[in-house]
Amino acid sequence: MSYDLLKGKRGIIFGALDENSIAWKTAERVHSEGGTFVLTNAPVAMRMGQIKTLAEQTGSEVIPADATNQEDLENLVSRSVEILGGKLDFVLHSIGMSINVRKGRHYTDEKYDFTAKGWDISALSFHRVMQTLYKADAMNEWGSIVALTYMAAQRTFPDYNDMADNKAYLESVARSFGYFFGKEKKVRVNTISQSPTATTAGSGVKGFDGFISYAEKMSPLGNASAQDCADFTVSLFSDLTRKVTMQNLFHDGGFSNTGVSQEVIEKFE
């Protein structure tokens, strides 16, 4: 169903890789709600993914940008405003990568060059994106910026590795920058703490399948899918959530407030 929630709104969507990714599903949903946008991803991810297909489906342009590169971001923001015909109303930051995880290094055996690079890509890039938007005065009043995160920022999940630290930093940036963006420009900044989701990025974590089924058994409403997350993101981009800012919003079927579920008890009895 479509409600025209984003009619006339413009934005940038980072991180659509393939049809499993949350950013991809969000782009489709934004399109169905009447929003227009520019798609962007790192040049290396663009070679791996199918972003051009999504661009065709949604009538969007693709601008490659490395979110850790200042020139790339400045070019992305100015060209997006030009292509879309005005200031932006929404931005989705869906970027995360840990080289320690990729290279199979345990949390107690981090290679700090890898850690720094992963932090730059996954967390500091959110500050960079917002600072670029802020300095260029590229957001309309009552615009909305959303980044995707995970509950490992608050609780320990042994195999989530240094991504947990990256997500904690990302959530802090949302609060800190959210204050200034709200005060100065009436722009809201939030993070969505999503259920474990079967995306290309998520599946890289060891023991992921077992964890997804555990979370499913723990959550009273079950896990939130990538499609559910796209719907929730659209609600945060819309004018219906104008006074929601600096929040980390758990979108996880109730997992974050459940101590234990009946199914889990039965499994261990």
Q: Is 117 annotated as a binding residue?
A: no
Query: Quick one: how far is CA 132 from the chain centroid?
Result: 17
Q: Catalytic residue numbers?
A: 150, 160
Q: Answer yes or no: is 95 a known binding residue.
A: yes
Torsion of CA 159, 154, 258, 230, to 10 degrees: -80
Q: Is 21 annotated as a binding residue?
A: yes
DSSP 122: I
Annotated binding residue at 167? yes
Neighbouring residues of 210: CB distance < 8 A, sequence distance ≥ 6: none
Longest dimension (CA), the chain: 62
Task: Mention every residue, 6+ apart, whose C-beta is less than 8 A from residue 252.
Answer: 151, 193, 194, 195, 215, 219, 223, 224
Q: Which residues are annotated as a binding site for NAD(+)?
A: 15, 21-22, 95, 167
Q: Which residues are annotated as a binding site?
A: 15, 21-22, 95, 167
